[in-house]
Amino acid sequence: MSSNLIVQKYGGTSVGTLDQIRNVAKRVKKSRDAGKDVLVVVSAMAGETDKLLEMANKLSDLPERREIDLLLSSGERISSALLSIALHGMGCPAVALTGRQMGLVTDDTHTRARIKAINAGRATDILKTNHVVVCAGFQGVNDLGDVTTLGRGGSDTSAVALAVALKADVCEIYTDVRGVYTADPRMVPNARKLNMVSFEEMLEMASLGAKVLQIRCVEFANNFNMPIVVRSTFDETDQGTRIGQENPDMEQPVVSGVMYDKDQSKITVKGVPDQPGIAANIFNALAEAAISVDMIIQNVSAEGHTDISFTLHTTNLKEAMSIMEKKGKEVKAESVSADSNISKISVVGAGMRSHSGVAARIFSTLSRESINIMMISTSEIRVSCIIDKQSTEQAVRALHGEFKLDEEPKRVSQPATDASPAT
Amino acid sequence: MSSNLIVQKYGGTSVGTLDQIRNVAKRVKKSRDAGKDVLVVVSAMAGETDKLLEMANKLSDLPERREIDLLLSSGERISSALLSIALHGMGCPAVALTGRQMGLVTDDTHTRARIKAINAGRATDILKTNHVVVCAGFQGVNDLGDVTTLGRGGSDTSAVALAVALKADVCEIYTDVRGVYTADPRMVPNARKLNMVSFEEMLEMASLGAKVLQIRCVEFANNFNMPIVVRSTFDETDQGTRIGQENPDMEQPVVSGVMYDKDQSKITVKGVPDQPGIAANIFNALAEAAISVDMIIQNVSAEGHTDISFTLHTTNLKEAMSIMEKKGKEVKAESVSADSNISKISVVGAGMRSHSGVAARIFSTLSRESINIMMISTSEIRVSCIIDKQSTEQAVRALHGEFKLDEEPKRVSQPATDASPAT
């Protein structure tokens, strides 16, 4: 089933200057000249959103979220109008649409609204007249008619949602990297770009610190089975990374990538009385402050007391510590301490489901490198370890080598060079 | 009949920086603290519109007007959101509204749309909740839901239209000068700020080159009898200039101001056969090219031939000359020549209606200064003369002195210091 429509999303670094906008226009025109219907979603020009936000923060300590949305949405309106003008300038008819005009209806949660519906009638009509549709990303409109925005990275979500609504074949996300890598190429020089990643793997990767795609956008794509291709705006030859459903015809590589996150901190509450309800008491207080806790360890009880450690994102550390110091006194804990000198390394792979022993190989590898594991958590397709921050690079490189991620995996029913397996 | 509502419009130079936006917020808050309902209309931050337009012109030789409107309207959305945020930051509740949200519906003429209707229900509702309404000027929305703009100076028109729709007492236009002057203060050092100008006088002045208000905004105010006060954003003590209906109780000064326009040119077609239809033939050709002709003189016929001279704005000279050179050959004229070394000086005053002899005084004054008058045109409340450009300043100063415009006029039923006569 092919709809002949492709959705292409270009990020802020792809439309940061007039030359870059011209370059994007050329790529869009090329797709249209090849006979495709094209709907483009653009972010604000690089730096624009931050500039607007900075002005707002200078004018008020706590700017109204509704007004922030009106303010920030201007950035994408400007870039969409400019791209449409550039397309016209090249003889490629185009129409720019705002969030409201593309029918992107959201709830009322300003600055991080959720999409409720897409009424894409106007976009459909315009595509029928052989015009390119250029949509302002990141923005929608609530039932009251006020502008809302979808939060950071929201343009990716706009693009996937429009691709779903218009039944596109694929949603292409153009960015300043060639795709999804087996590890951060700045840390692991022989990191390899992946041709194919499953939705589930990408969800794990996005939540583990891979910045190439926002987790909400991947969730959306997974829910509606819309394949995403992440590829470079600047390198036309590279086919990028395709993110889609697991292909049952194809043997999965056991491990797809190694991720790391240095922005992790650990809080330890020592000498807590080992009584029912104490842990609930502690973690409820954090939940009420909307602080997400990642891993939790509770030691085996000794003499009626126990220690509880948990990790969280470092941005929440200060607030969490002030809560925990209060709670610590309340539950008569011996001490409350924080440690930001940690990082989380994670190994992700859909093939873990059918291959045992991956965790053991990870622990052996780290042991061989004399890296101590402080905490462990696992999912069906992921193993994460907390280690000391200084060992991050060493651990990532060792694991990347152990699982031979620099080598193309052997696959059964597809040639190894095929970047876009059938779905 | 008082509605307790005032509409205040702030131009681009009044909201050009964050400090200026804070200053405007303070003035708005002061009006609200004094018990007024306040609806504010803002222009884009100074320079923003030109910056956006420049980008568009770099991307396309002839940018689509629809996309230009989407692009340019962002400027006012940004400044309205920022002003609303600044007001919140000062503890003054406010809601920013876009052209669509304020219900400003226009025709389809992108980049110079005309207002069709204002459905100001939402603004009315917000004012009832004791919030300041901050409207993005210059923009509306057509029946299709596309953004339109009202052309240069359109924010003034937005403000007057909203004042009419919401039955405001007055529409205050804040700008970087103190009001309307008897002459350009840069040319005539003792030029006096006028406390009161009639709609008709202001219409003449706006069309004669006074840049303080766009002619469309004055037409609108005149049609709906909405008084305008032009005043300085930076000087709070000055009451500005009130523009309203002529006050029958009050003796009008004979002359209110002396204007000049140096951007005038004259085209002369010599030796035209004096036959019926020749003038029509010439001026139809100009009308078809949408070129406005100002003054026309046709000499008395001699030997079956005549000369025709007319003036026009210098921006249209090149196009008009290429048309006239073609026409000249067609009608077998002797020659076609252009002269840009002219300017138009005008004397405006509602009191001319009841005072004869103003024109004679103008001609005598210019004669006394040895300034030659090339062409003359008059209306009920205006006399304009074409003179050579080098004499512009001399003529303006001489006429300003002749009519004693530096002195407060003597008025019958109102004290001379009252800046806002009852209407």
SS3 of residue B122 by DSSP: helix
pLDDT of amino acid B419:
43
Q: Which residues of A lie closer than 8 Å to B, measured between beta carbons?
A: 18, 21-22, 52, 55-56, 58-61, 63-64, 66-68, 70-71, 73-74, 77-78, 80-82, 84-86, 88-89, 95-96, 98, 100-101, 145-147
The β-bridge partners of A204 are: none
CB hemisphere CA count around B286 (13 angstroms):
22
In angstroms, what separates the C-alpha of A100 from chain B's closest C-alpha?
Answer: 9
Secondary element (H or E) of residue B273: strand B257-273
Burial class (CB in 10 A: 0-12, 13-18, 19+), B205: buried
Nearest-CB residue to A21 (from B59, B89, B100): B59
Q: A77: which chain B residues are within 8 Å (Cβ-Cβ)?
A: 70-71, 73-74, 77
Residue-range domain boundaries for chain A: 5-176
pLDDT of amino acid B211:
78
Nearest-CB residue to A58 (from B18, B66, B78): B18
Going by C-alpha positions, the residue among A227, A249, A241, A262 that lies closest to residue A192 is A241
Between CA A97 and CA A264 the distance in angstroms is 40
Strands B335-348 and B257-273, sheet pairing: antiparallel
Q: B88: which chain A residues are within 8 Å (Cβ-Cβ)?
A: 60, 63-64, 67
Q: Give, in order, the Cα–Cα distances in Å from A307 to each of A296, A316, B76.
A: 11, 21, 57
Contact criterion met (CB below 8 Å) for A12 and A49: yes
In angstroms, what separates the C-alpha of A127 from chain B's closest C-alpha?
Answer: 17
Between CA A205 and CA A346 the distance in angstroms is 9
Between CA A104 and CA B313 the distance in angstroms is 47
Nearest-CB residue to B96 (from A70, A101, A145): A70
Secondary element (H or E) of residue B365: helix B358-368
The β-bridge partners of B1 are: none
What's the topology of domain A5-176? Carbamate kinase (3.40.1160)
Contact criterion met (CB below 8 Å) for B380 and B353: yes
The vertex-B219 CA angle with B51 and B214, nearest 5°, equals 25
Nearest-CB residue to A67 (from B73, B85, B145): B85
Work out whether the CA dihedral B228, B230, B233, B235 comes out positive or negative.
Answer: negative
Nearest-CB residue to A59 (from B66, B82, B101): B82
- Contact partners, residue B284, CB within 8 Å, separation at least 6: none
Burial class (CB in 10 A: 0-12, 13-18, 19+), B34: exposed
Q: Indicate yes or no: CB of A89 within 8 angstroms of CB of B60.
A: yes
In angstroms, what separates the C-alpha of A303 from chain B's closest C-alpha?
Answer: 55
- Contact partners, residue B288, CB within 8 Å, separation at least 6: none
Q: Indicate yes or no: CB of A18 within 8 angstroms of CB of B58.
A: yes
DSSP B155-214: HHHHHHHHHHHTT-SEEEEEESSSS-BSS-TTT-TT--B-SEEEHHHHHHHHHTT--SS-
Q: A21: which chain B residues are within 8 Å (Cβ-Cβ)?
A: 59
Q: B82: which chain A residues are within 8 Å (Cβ-Cβ)?
A: 55-56, 59, 71
Q: A71: which chain B residues are within 8 Å (Cβ-Cβ)?
A: 77-78, 81-82, 85
ipTM, two decimals, is 0.83
Q: Which tokens sit at B302?
A: 């001699």
A305: left (phi over 0), alpha (psi -120 to 50) or beta: beta
Contact criterion met (CB below 8 Å) for B230 and B213: yes
In angstroms, what separates the C-alpha of A165 from chain B's closest C-alpha?
Answer: 21
Q: Which tokens sit at A253?
A: 């590589």
Count of A–B CB contacts within 8 Å? 107
pLDDT of chain B along its 423 residues, tens only?
457 999 999 999 999 999 999 999 999 999 999 999 999 999 999 999 999 999 999 999 999 999 999 999 999 999 999 999 999 999 999 999 999 999 999 999 999 999 999 999 999 999 999 999 999 999 999 999 999 999 878 999 999 999 999 999 999 999 989 999 999 999 999 999 999 999 999 999 988 877 788 888 999 999 999 999 999 999 989 999 999 998 766 667 889 999 999 999 999 999 998 888 888 888 999 998 888 899 998 887 778 889 999 999 998 999 999 999 999 999 899 999 999 999 999 999 988 888 888 999 999 999 999 999 999 999 989 999 999 999 999 999 999 999 999 998 765 444 444 444 443
Q: B146: which chain A residues are within 8 Å (Cβ-Cβ)?
A: 101
Q: Indicate yes or no: CB of B77 within 8 angstroms of CB of A74.
A: yes
pLDDT of amino acid A249:
61
Contact criterion met (CB below 8 Å) for A389 and A262: yes
Strands A305-313 and A293-298, sheet pairing: antiparallel
Terminal alpha carbon distance of chain B: 11
How many percent of chain B have pLDDT more than 90?
Answer: 79
Between CA B79 and CA B50 the distance in angstroms is 15
- Contact partners, residue A85, CB within 8 Å, separation at least 6: B56, B59, B60, B63, B64, B67, B68, B71
Going by C-alpha positions, the residue among A77, A115, A80 that lies closest to residue A8 is A80
Instruction: Look up residue B24 and give its amino acid.
Output: V
Rounded to the nearest 10°, the torsion over CA B204, B209, B213, B215 is 50
SS3 of residue B142 by DSSP: coil
pLDDT of amino acid B214:
85
- Write out pLDDT tens, residues B182-192: 999 999 999 99
Q: Indicate yes or no: CB of A56 within 8 angstroms of CB of B98.
A: no
pLDDT of amino acid B251:
63
Going by C-alpha positions, the residue among B118, B362, B110, B321 that lies closest to residue B220 is B118
pLDDT of chain A along its 423 residues, tens only?
457 999 999 999 999 999 999 999 999 999 999 999 999 999 999 999 999 999 999 999 999 999 999 999 999 999 999 999 999 999 999 999 999 999 999 999 999 999 999 999 999 999 999 999 999 999 999 999 999 999 878 999 999 999 999 999 999 999 989 999 999 999 999 999 999 999 999 999 988 877 788 888 999 999 999 999 999 999 989 999 999 998 766 667 889 999 999 999 999 999 998 888 888 888 999 998 889 899 998 887 778 889 999 999 998 999 999 999 999 999 899 999 999 999 999 999 988 888 888 999 999 999 999 999 999 999 989 999 999 999 999 999 999 999 999 998 765 444 444 444 443
DSSP B42-107: E-PPTTHHHHHHHHHHHH-SS--HHHHHHHHHHHHHHHHHHHHHHHHHTT--EEEE-TTTTTEEE-
- Contact partners, residue A159, CB within 8 Å, separation at least 6: A7, A8, A9, A41, A137, A171, A173, A217
Going by C-alpha positions, the residue among B416, B396, B142 that lies closest to residue B261 is B396
pLDDT of amino acid A250:
63
